[in-house]
Amino acid sequence: SSMAELHVRSVLVTGANRGIGLGLVKHFLQFRNPPERIFAACRDPKGEKAQELQQLASKHPSLVIIQLEVTDPASIQAAAASVTEHLKGSGLNLLINNAGIAKLTFLDTETSQYMSEVYATNTIGPLLVSQAFLPLLKKAAQGSPTSELSCSRAAIINMSSSAGSVEEVYLWDLGQIISYRCSKAALNMLTKCQSLGYREHGILCAALHPGWVQTDMGTSSGLKPPVTMDVSIQGMLKVLCSLSEKDTGTFLNWEGKVVPW
């Protein structure tokens, strides 16, 4: 493939058993210089929904499946301990907080329970996961030959959505999905805060909108999304390659364009 390749020694992707998470894992495996360690984290590694991931792991020794339920602090700690062990003293270059859920609700039918559930996964999850993996990200940043911020050095990438853009309120007519939109708007603020708090440690932080993609979640509206998985992921990987100092704390889409907050 002629596409730009990200040079990372290690990467962890949450929600890696299907959709964009699985797509990212597959692309990393196809690199000419693939990461030495690809950690694919998902809720139920032995379950039916992780079969494709299990098959990939049986063929690729660099792919390690990690059990991780982002709403469970004990699971997060166990995952961080396991990844630390696998890395044998080296750091984690890239954390992609991709695990997310959506409930197809409307303003009139949104409930306290849905709001709490979606926020727990989409906003609190990335906060806690980033906290748990911070020591490994710091270690990667410190061990890097360069002092410039980049995804090759150390980065937290939060998978967001233009649906959470207060200015765009992307696809409102298609679905109100209030809890999802609120959780992503909050995730964007978290990303900005992380960029300010972790800059001194040499860690780049950015929020990424993958586009409206042909995945289980994307097609749950009953309509066919305009962006294929490959186009979205190749685009996002190209964006990750290009991120530098000036991009920390920004919100970009799969084409590298700035998404308004």
- Look at residue 47 and tell me if it is in a domain: yes
Sign of CA dihedral 21, 23, 24, 28: positive
Rounded-to-10 torsion of CA 45, 205, 175, 216: -30
Contact (Cβ atoms closer than 8 angstroms) between residue 195 and residue 187 = no
What does the pLDDT look like over 29-69, one tens digit per residue? 999 999 999 999 999 999 999 999 999 999 999 999 999 99
- Look at residue 246 and tell me if it is in a domain: yes
* Segments forming the whole domain that contains residue 80: 10-253
- Look at residue 107 and tell me if it is in a domain: yes
Neighbour tally for 92: CB within 10 Å? 28
What does the pLDDT look like over 104-156, one tens digit per residue? 999 999 999 999 999 999 999 999 999 999 999 999 999 998 899 999 999 99
CA 25 to chain CA centroid, nearest Å = 11
Phi, psi at 67, each rounded to 5°: -75, 125
- Look at residue 5 and tell me if it is in a domain: no
Rounded-to-10 torsion of CA 19, 225, 240, 193: -90
What does the pLDDT look like over 11-37, one tens digit per residue? 999 999 999 999 999 999 999 999 999
- Residue 1: the pLDDT is 41
- Look at residue 245 and tell me if it is in a domain: yes
**What Å distances lie between residue 239 and 98, 209, 226, 234, 244, CA to CA?**
16, 11, 19, 9, 10
What is the domain-level CATH number for residue 45? 3.40.50.720
- Please count the structural domains in the chain: 1
- Residue 220: the pLDDT is 77
Q: In terms of pLDDT, which residue wins out, 222 or 175?
A: 175
Q: Grade residue 216 by pLDDT with cuts at 50, 70 and 90.
A: confident
- Residue 29: the pLDDT is 97
- Residue 5: the pLDDT is 74
